[in-house]
């Protein structure tokens, strides 16, 4: 048998071994050819009377990460071509049949009459886990890194090869819905407890254990294909069902605000599918899958959260021809919260760290932050004392600049004051090697201005981390006027080494992410001053798809920091750059009331030691008359919050701050969670349509002022119907 992606053998006992091993890829993924190979393997097992059953496993460290989502992009392009060539109805029929091809193959495997056992040796996600679920038994290795799950909802989709039907037939409905809607990746023991894995065995014995299970006898007929099958949670229309579905629907609405077609489809196909036989249920799943696959939300989420995210992680913006940076030791200047956190993620990635502060007590305190973070992991069972000691051994606290002499990269993270940073840059450059790259972590100060304090500005770059550093996956790398290719390559190599996603932006005050999120928070301040109830502002932001409301976010990042930035902007740019209403609000909170945010347990919200946060009552008294909730134009509030943020992204494109829409979109989602259903700030504009977006901006500008006035680029694009991604495609074609 000629298979492209698998090896095939049959032992003396008549057990076939189908080993997944895609030679040209580091990880097995599902594409069209994998489906063809699986189909051929099922036919071979059925056709040979000597074969008693088949074990499916992987030759790589992991089983598979699931589908190659670029395959889905190709399907969309093929559909568009078919519409032109054959008409919409014929194109949709072809699209539907193609989108359910894997589902049909797995159903064929499931009902072929001979048993298949999946021997799962590592990560097994998405369509790969659907292959395992269709098999008649699942054996997992005791590999601590093993995870199984169906995470498709995170990129705007849902499992389309039987996952939504098999999981709730194998475990209770509540757990099934939670797993599907959250996209959970389960450890082997949790999956076994849910009945999704049958056995966990030592990794070295995995294949032999799978073969032994086949020899002992595996029923080739699934429970749901037998008479009198009963669902684990009982019928949908039953007392137990009514204890599940109404609250499940309420939780779904609360968590998603119905923004994600993939999540909505999960609720529908599980609900409908559990009421009919499996073959009909799978057809229901396939119809919804084809519909969701063609939705603009899924298209945008796949593009940003899979294709673009992957390309950036692999070095999309790395200068060609620059050798990989050898980063053995990294110096971190400043052992405060940010510096200490940067030291932690650097040491966690295996590099040595020199953590410098003004005195040893401060430096040691910074190192203690790493001790706390790892201890928290130990308490959760996610790390060990030995791992903690190994990590701490990599961090050298110091107050002596001479200790920086062996560093390959410096990351400065001292107080946000140009004079303080200038002094640190001067002292550090006197101690470091001539070839050492110097990076500044600053949230607002222009990198070109800081680079003027450097004697080698071509080796000076910005690396902007987001707080908390250990959890936030985005890093902005900022090009100063004279930053060279080696500095950029080194910065990107470093970001990759610490397992974060970089975007490259050009220098400007606030860079890209903070300019966008600054508008988001500013609009909330102005809404508050207009009398919109603060809780409504946060809740409507979440209804728009933002993970955190703007007032809550402001409390998280610190209100006093916002006031400092506002004052600095007023001095350096001019009074016209500051809204007096926002300044009035922040000055009152910080300077009169000492309400600086969550760090002080008081900001827009009060944060009690026990119980939930509550809005500070003093806000209503300060603002004066509040608008009655029923009189608030909710859609207008949502539009203001999303439009002001996306409009700032468009301005950044026009100014050359961001040069690639993929970076703008990924940066907005990872940096501050801009409505992931939209695919990011520029995808939101493209999805709305530039003409419609400009019209919306003009309407808001007429009512609320010039801050909503569309920039010149947007007006030009609206006149021609151009999109940001269309512009990118044209540039590529021209190149």
DSSP string, 562-596: HHHHHHHHHHHT-GGGS-HHHHHHHHIIIIIT---
Interatomic CA distance for residues 141 and 466, integer angstroms: 37
pLDDT for 84 beyond 90: no
Residues 14 and 33 grouped into a single domain: yes
Report if residue 1 sits inside a domain.
no
Q: Which of 509, 540, 559 is the C-terminal boundary of a domain? A: 509
Residues 496 and 518 grouped into a single domain: no
- Percent share of the chain, pLDDT over 90: 87
Residues 217 and 344 grouped into a single domain: no
Q: Which of 509, 537, 552 is the C-terminal boundary of a domain? A: 509
pTM score of the predicted model: 0.92
pLDDT for 733 beyond 80: no
611 phi-psi bin (left φ>0, alpha ψ -120 to 50, beta other)? left
Residues 244 and 391 grouped into a single domain: no
DSSP code, position 325: P
pLDDT at 79: 82
Report if residue 316 sits inside a domain.
no
Q: Which residues pair with 50 in a beta bridge?
A: none
pLDDT for 71 beyond 80: no
Report if residue 321 sits inside a domain.
no
Q: Which of 492, 509, 526 is the C-terminal boundary of a domain? A: 509
Count the Cβ atoms, other than its own, within 10 Å of residue 197.
Answer: 25
pLDDT for 625 beyond 90: no
Residue 192, CA distances (Å) to 6, 186, 313 in order: 27, 9, 33
CATH classification of the domain holding 346: 3.40.50.720
pLDDT at 444: 80
Backbone angles phi, psi at 36, to 5 degrees: -65, -40
Residues 596 and 712 grouped into a single domain: yes
CATH classification of the domain holding 602: 1.10.1040.50
The answer to whether residue 288 is catalytic is no
pLDDT at 374: 96
Residues 499 and 613 grouped into a single domain: no
pLDDT at 159: 95
pLDDT for 734 beyond 80: no
Largest CA distance in the chain: 85
pLDDT at 735: 65
Q: Reduced to 3 states, what is the DSSP secondary structure of residue 271? A: helix
Residues 176 and 130 grouped into a single domain: yes
Which one of the listed residues 136, 288, 299, 464 is annotated catalytic? 464
Average pLDDT score over residue span 223-234: 95
Average pLDDT score over residue span 284-313: 93
Average pLDDT score over residue span 244-268: 94
Domain enclosing residue 468, as ranges = 329-509
Per-residue pLDDT tens for 574-622? 888 899 999 999 999 999 999 999 999 999 999 999 999 999 999 999 9
- Secondary structure element (H or E) that encloses residue 214, with its range: helix 206-216
Q: Tokens for 93?
A: 């029929």
Residues 505 and 538 grouped into a single domain: no
- Percent share of the chain, pLDDT over 70: 100
pLDDT for 541 beyond 90: yes
149 phi-psi bin (left φ>0, alpha ψ -120 to 50, beta other)? left
Top-confidence residue, 3 or 568: 3
Residues 464 and 524 grouped into a single domain: no
Report if residue 102 sits inside a domain.
yes
Report if residue 312 sits inside a domain.
no
Interatomic CA distance for residues 533 and 361, integer angstroms: 45
Q: How many domains does the chain have?
A: 3
Handedness of CA 285, 291, 293, 296 (dihedral sign): negative
Q: Going by C-beta distance under 8 Å and a sequence separation of 6 or more, which residues neighbour residue 257?
A: 542, 543, 544, 545
Report if residue 319 sits inside a domain.
no
Residues 559 and 464 grouped into a single domain: no
Residues 20 and 51 grouped into a single domain: yes
pLDDT at 88: 87
Report if residue 86 sits inside a domain.
yes
CATH classification of the domain holding 56: 3.90.226.10
Residue 155 in contact with residue 305, Cβ under 8 Å?
yes
Question: Per mean pLDDT, which of 77-86, 133-142, 235-244 is the most reliable?
Answer: 133-142
Residues 267 and 373 grouped into a single domain: no
Report if residue 307 sits inside a domain.
no
Interatomic CA distance for residues 33 and 5, integer angstroms: 8
- Residue 407's closest CA among 324, 323, 332? 332
């Amino acid at each position: 048998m000629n298979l492209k992606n698998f090896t095939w053998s049959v032992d003396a006992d008549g057990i076939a071994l189908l080993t997944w091993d895609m030679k040209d890829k580091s990880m097995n993924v599902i594409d069209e050819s994998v489906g063809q190979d699986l189909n051929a393997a099922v036919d071979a097992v059925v056709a040979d009377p000597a074969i008693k059953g088949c074990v499916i496993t992987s030759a790589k460290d992991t089983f598979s990460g699931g589908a190659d989502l670029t395959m889905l992009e190709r399907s969309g392009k093929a559909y568009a071509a078919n519409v032109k060539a054959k008409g919409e109805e014929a194109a949709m029929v072809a699209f539907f049949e193609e989108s359910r091809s894997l589902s049909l193959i797995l159903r064929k495997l499931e009902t072929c009459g001979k048993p298949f056992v999946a021997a799962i040796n590592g990560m097994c996600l998405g369509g790969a886990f659907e292959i395992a679920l269709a098999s008649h038994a699942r054996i997992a290795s005791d590999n601590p890194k093993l995870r199984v799950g169906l995470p498709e909802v995170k990129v705007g989709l849902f499992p389309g090869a039987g996952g939504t039907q098999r999981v709730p037939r194998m475990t209770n409905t509540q757990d099934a819905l939670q797993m599907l809607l959250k996209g959970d990746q389960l450890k082997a023991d949790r999956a076994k407890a849910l009945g999704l894995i049958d056995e966990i065995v030592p990794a070295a014995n995995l294949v032999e254990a799978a073969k032994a299970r086949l020899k002992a006898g595996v029923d080739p007929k699934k429970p749901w294909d037998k008479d009198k099958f009963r669902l684990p949670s009982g019928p949908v229309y039953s007392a137990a069902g009514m204890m599940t579905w109404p609250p499940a629907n309420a939780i779904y609405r609360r968590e998603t605000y119905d923004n994600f077609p993939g999540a909505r489809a999960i609720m529908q196909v599980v609900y409908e599918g559990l009421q009919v036989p499996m073959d009909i249920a799978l057809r229901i799943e396939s119809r919804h899958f084809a519909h969701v696959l063609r939705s603009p939300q899924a298209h945008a989420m796949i593009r940003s959260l899979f294709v673009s995210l992957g390309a950036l992680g692999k070095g999309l913006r790395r200068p060609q021809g620059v050798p990989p940076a050898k980063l053995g030791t990294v110096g971190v200047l400043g052992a405060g919260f940010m510096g200490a956190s940067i030291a932690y993620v650097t040491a966690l990635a295996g590099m040595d760290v020199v953590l410098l502060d003004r005195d040893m007590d401060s430096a040691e305190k910074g190192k203690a932050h790493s001790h706390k973070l790892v201890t928290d992991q130990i308490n959760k069972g996610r790390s060990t004392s030995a791992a903690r000691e190994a990590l701490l051994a990599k961090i050298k606290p110091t107050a002596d600049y001479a200790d920086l002499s062996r560093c390959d990269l410096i990351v400065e993270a001292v107080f946000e004051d140009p004079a303080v940073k200038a002094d640190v840059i001067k002292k550090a450059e006197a101690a470091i090697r001539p070839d050492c790259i110097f990076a500044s972590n600053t949230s607002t100060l222009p990198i070109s201005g800081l680079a003027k304090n450097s004697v080698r500005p071509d080796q000076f770059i910005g690396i902007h981390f987001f707080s908390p550093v250990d959890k936030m996956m985005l890093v902005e790398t900022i090009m100063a006027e004279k930053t060279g290719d080696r500095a950029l390559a080194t910065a990107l190599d470093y970001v990759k080494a610490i397992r974060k996603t970089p975007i490259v932006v050009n220098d400007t005050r606030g860079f890209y992410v903070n300019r966008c999120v600054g508008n988001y928070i500013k609009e909330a301040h102005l809404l508050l001053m207009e009398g919109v109830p603060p809780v409504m502002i946060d809740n409507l932001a979440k209804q728009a798809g933002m993970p955190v409301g703007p007032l809550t976010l402001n409390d998280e990042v610190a209100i006093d920091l916002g006031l400092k930035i506002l004052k600095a902007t007023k001095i350096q740019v001019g009074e016209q750059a500051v809204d007096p209403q926002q300044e009035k609000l922040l000055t009152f909170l910080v300077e009169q009331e000492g309400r600086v945010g969550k760090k002080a347990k008081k900001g827009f919200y009060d944060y009690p030691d026990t119980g939930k946060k509550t809005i500070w009552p003093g806000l209503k008294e300060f603002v004066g008359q509040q608008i009655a909730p029923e009189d608030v134009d909710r859609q207008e509030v949502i539009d203001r919050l999303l439009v002001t943020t996306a409009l700032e992204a468009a301005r950044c494109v026009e100014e050359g701050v961001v040069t690639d829409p993929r970076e703008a979109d990924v940066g907005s989602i990872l940096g501050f969670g801009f409505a992931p259903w939209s695919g990011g700030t520029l995808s939101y504009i493209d999805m709305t349509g530039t003409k419609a977006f400009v019209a919306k901006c003009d309407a808001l500008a007429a009512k609320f002022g010039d801050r909503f006035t569309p920039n010149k680029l947007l007006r030009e694009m609206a006149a021609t119907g151009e999109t940001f991604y269309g512009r990118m495609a044209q540039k590529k074609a021209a190149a």
